[in-house]
Structure formats: C-alpha cells, structure tokens
C-alpha cells in the first residue's frame, strides 16, 4: 500500500495505518463456513485483516483465533453477524466498536473490552480489566469472573453481567442500560449516573453521588431471570437495585434535547 514518509521514518498510509507488516496470514484453515488460525506469530493488523477478510469477503460465519497472546485491539470494528472465538487471552480494547458478532473469549481480557459495542454478545470465561464495557451502546457483555474499576463508564445501553466482583466507580456517569453484578461492588457505585439500573447481589462498599436504591418491579425480575436463562448462568441470586436519584442530572429531561440539532 503506498505510504507517505515522515521525519520519524514511520510510513503512514492515507488512512493512518502505520504497522508495516500487512501481509495476509497464510496459516488460515477453512472448513466450510468455519475458519481458524494461530495468532502466535501474527501482528495485530494481520489478525484483524484476517478476521475482516474471512467474515466480510469469504462469507465465513465462525472464526476461531488461537493464541491471541494478549495482543491489543483484536476483533475491533466488526460490523456483521458472526461468531468469533478466542482460545486464549486478548489484551486491551478487544472487540471494541463491534455491531453484531457473538464473541467468546476462553481466557482473560485487559482494559476496555467491548468498548462502544453497538450490538452482539461478548462472553469472557475469566476476569476482565478496568473500563469493561466502556460507553457500550447495546448488546450483552458477560464476564465470568471479576472486573476492575469503572465498569460500564458512560454506558449508554446494553447489559453488562459480572459473575464476580467489580471495582471502584462502577457505572460512573452511566446514562442508560443495565449492569448485573453477582459479587461485591467497590466504592462509588453509580457515581453521577444519569439513568439505567445497577443490580448488585453482594455488598456495596459505598454509593456514588446521586446513586440511590431503586424500587424493584416485575420487569426487573423478568430481565434478571431471562438473562440468566439465555446465557446459562444458573439460578440468579437475590439482587438489590440501584438507580439515579435524579438530584444531580435528570436524563429524562436532558435526553430529548441531546438528540436534536439546534440550528441558529
């Protein structure tokens, strides 16, 4: 791909891609509508190139990536219904900006998994780092372990389920959506949240500014039971619900104006 040089000697193409090694991997095994490849010796760009080619161009609906080896930004920006399996642990920003894929991760993940996810399902079999589900817009994100700080920061939709504990500032500035936390929550749960619901089965170290206990409804029971059933999470524990106290922000009043373009 033609590039333009810079003083640093790094070559950028018109789209800002910098990683020099951009050859398509030659170790992809295809079997009908399924494919798999070993990422051990591949660069991040090669892995993502292979995923896009298989899913977009070759009509592959089910891809397995072996040995992701904590490489960052894997399976980012996939905008099609498909299944992706990671046999191992991706690094930071895995599965960000996706719209449609159903992803299973048979390992851990670093920061910001499924950041800005629009739709899809991401299931992580072990623990996740901080900023899990940051700014998620839709879909289901399931972590079968503990997560770090700021889970679902700026969450605008979707459902985050954590079977273990969550760290400090979980649900910080949450604007919409649902968090289901089966373990304990760290300090400042739901700090400055606008809207949405946070369900916690364990102990809450402290509530953040304007986060208050909410009234339990039949819709909450239906949601919890359905999510546990469809994701095979067993029998749900008893949860307490937390919502926005609407003293700091009132998202019901804010939202309509946020969605309009004002022409002066």
Partner 1 sequence: MAGSASTGESSRETRTVAIDAEVLAGKRFAYQEDMSLVEDIDLLAATPGPDINWLEDITLLEEDGVPAVFDRYSNSFLKIYFDIPSGREDEIARKVLIKHLTDGNSYGITLKDIHCKFPQVELGPWVDESAVVGTDWRQPVLEGWTAPAGH
Residue closer to partner 1 by CB (options 253, 262) is 262
What minimum distance in Å lies between the beta carbon of 101 and partner 1?
A: 7
Residue closer to partner 1 by CB (options 126, 137) is 137
What minimum distance in Å lies between the beta carbon of 166 and partner 1?
A: 21
For the chain, report the end-to-end CA distance as a whole number of angstroms.
Answer: 44
Query: What residue has token string 């398509």?
Result: 24
Residue closer to partner 1 by CB (options 108, 178) is 178
Residue spans of alpha helices (H) in the chain: 44-52, 218-230, 251-258
What minimum distance in Å lies between the beta carbon of 187 and partner 1?
A: 28
What is d(CA 117, CA 97) in angstroms, rounded to the nearest whole number? 5
Give the Cα-Cα-Cα angle 191, 194, 199 (nearest 5 degrees): 65
The token pair that represents 204 in the structure block: 């809450």
Residue closer to partner 1 by CB (options 118, 187) is 118
What minimum distance in Å lies between the beta carbon of 120 and partner 1?
A: 5
Residue closer to partner 1 by CB (options 116, 130) is 116
Sites of contact with partner 1 (CB under 8 A): 14-15, 52, 56-57, 77, 79-81, 99-102, 118-121, 137-140, 157-159, 176-177, 226-227, 230-231, 259-264
Residue 46 DSSP one-character state: H
Name the nearest CA neighbour of 192 among 168, 214, 169: 169
What minimum distance in Å lies between the beta carbon of 159 and partner 1?
A: 7
Residue closer to partner 1 by CB (options 79, 248) is 79
The token pair that represents 239 in the structure block: 């949860």
What is d(CA 14, CA 2) in angstroms, rounded to the nearest whole number? 8
Query: What residue has token string 């780092």?
Result: 129
Pairing status of strand 119-124 against strand 99-105? parallel
What minimum distance in Å lies between the beta carbon of 252 and partner 1?
A: 11
């Amino acid at each position: 791909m033609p590039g333009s040089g810079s003083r640093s000697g790094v070559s950028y193409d018109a789209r800002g891609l910098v990683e020099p090694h951009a050859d398509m991997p030659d170790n992809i095994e295809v079997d009908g509508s399924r494919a798999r490849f070993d990422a051990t010796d591949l660069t991040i760009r090669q892995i993502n190139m292979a995923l896009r080619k298989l899913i977009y161009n070759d009509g592959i609906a089910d891809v397995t990536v072996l040995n992701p080896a904590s490489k960052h930004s894997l399976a980012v920006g996939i905008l099609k219904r498909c299944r992706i399996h990671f046999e191992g642990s991706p690094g930071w920003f895995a599965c960000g900006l996706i719209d449609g894929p159903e992803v299973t991760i048979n390992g851990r993940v670093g920061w910001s998994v499924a950041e800005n996810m629009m739709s899809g399902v991401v299931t992580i079999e072990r623990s996740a780092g901080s900023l899990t589900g940051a700014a998620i817009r839709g879909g289901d994100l399931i972590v079968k372990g503990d997560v770090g700080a700021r889970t679902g920061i700026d969450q605008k939709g979707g459902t985050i389920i954590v079977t273990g504990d969550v760290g400090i500032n979980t649900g910080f500035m949450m604007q919409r959506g649902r968090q289901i936390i089966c373990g304990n929550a760290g300090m400042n749960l739901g700090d400055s949240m606008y809207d949405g619901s946070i369900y916690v089965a364990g102990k809450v170290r402290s509530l953040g500014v304007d986060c208050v206990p909410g009234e339990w409804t039949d819709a909450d029971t239906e949601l919890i039971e359905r999510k546990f059933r469809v994701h095979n999470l067993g029998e749900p524990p008893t949860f307490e619900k937390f919502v926005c106290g609407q003293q700091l922000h009132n998202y019901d009043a804010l939202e309509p104006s946020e969605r309009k373009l004002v022409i002066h």
